[in-house]
Amino acid sequence: MIGVVDLSDGLAVHAQGGARAHYGPVRSLAGRPIRPGDARAIVRWYVEELGVQEIYVADLDALRGRPPQHALIRALASFDVPLWLDAAISSVASARTAVEDGATRVVVGLETLPSLDALAAICQAIGGQNVVFSLDLRRGRPLAAPGSALDGQTPEQIAATAVAAGARGVIVLDLARVGMRRGLDLDLLANVRASVPEAELVVAGGVRGVTDLAAAAAAGCNAALVATALYDGRLVSADLAPPARVSPA
């Protein structure tokens, strides 16, 4: 399990359904109130209380074409856990900036990817083992730029193409499922796994609890990105410390 923090205008917000302009600040953690939008408190809770060993940070400002939140990202990177950063990274320069800001894994998303050449260049510049490709979907449909080389391809084809370009990991992210408690598209996950048998596979969007984590592992996922099921307490209890990863069955 990888704990997620979504940042907008300096605040940690609760992502729901991909409608980024309408996300509100996170106000409580498993029923315990926090200062609204306190991203540092969330990461501290993940790491020190839940034992989460990796953090995924999405800079929603950058994803909407605004200036990246460098200072806040650096502050979150100061916690002693690997940090995955999704911040509209689409060039070698922006990938290197992400690493300078403290990112351990650089996330290159389909939604903002200008070309396959850009992905390949990033992988070559910082090492493919440090690059994770986000297969961005909405209701199962890839969010490839119209007219791009990936436009019209299936999710499975896009995942395989990204791995061939050098990315060592793939995130299957359906924005319509994020924060909506709708569960996982297990058939899609199994199909993507079959298309990239050697890659690290991560699911994002739809995890409701332990049952979904187990189902994701059975479908071939190595890890899951989780926020809502931690915020609302379904994965937090005295006898359940969320594991850092899920292992395929």
User: Can you give the CATH number for the domain in which 14 is found?
Assistant: 3.20.20.70
Name the pLDDT band for 218 (thresholds 50, 70, 90): very high
Mean pLDDT (whole number) for 216-232: 95
Q: Is residue 239 part of a domain?
A: no
As a whole number, the mean pLDDT across the chain is 92
Question: Could you tell me if residue 209 is inside a domain?
Answer: yes
Residue 236 confidence class, pLDDT cut points 50, 70, 90: confident
In a domain, 244, yes or no: no
* 86: three-class secondary structure by DSSP: strand
Q: Please report whether residue 240 resides in a domain.
A: no
User: How many CB atoms are located within 10 Å of the residue 205 CB?
Assistant: 28
- The pTM is what? 0.92
pLDDT over 70, % of the chain = 94
pLDDT confidence of 18, banded at 50, 70, 90? low
Q: Residue 28 belongs to what domain range?
A: 2-231
Closest CA to 3 of 72, 63, 57: 57
248 located within any domain = no
What pLDDT, on the 0 to 100 scale, is given for residue 29?
A: 96
Q: Are 122 and 95 in contact (CB under 8 A)?
A: yes
Indicate if the pLDDT at residue 249 is higher than 50.
no
Total number of domains in the chain? 1
In a domain, 173, yes or no: yes
Q: Are 74 and 99 in contact (CB under 8 A)?
A: no
Q: Which residue would you say has higher pLDDT here, 182 or 129? A: 129
Q: Is 153 exposed, middle or buried (0-12, 13-18, 19+ CB in 10 A)?
A: middle
Token duo for residue 26: 């996170």
Does residue 25 have a pLDDT over 70?
yes
Determine contact, residues 215/193, Cβ cutoff 8 Å: no
User: Residue 248 pLDDT > 80, yes or no?
Assistant: no
pLDDT one-digit tens code per residue, 132-155: 999 999 999 999 988 888 999 999
Provide the pLDDT for residue 144: 93
pLDDT at 237: 55
Reference 131, options 95, 97, 160, 178; nearest CA is 95
List pLDDT tens digits, range 96-137: 999 999 999 999 999 999 999 999 999 999 999 999 999 999
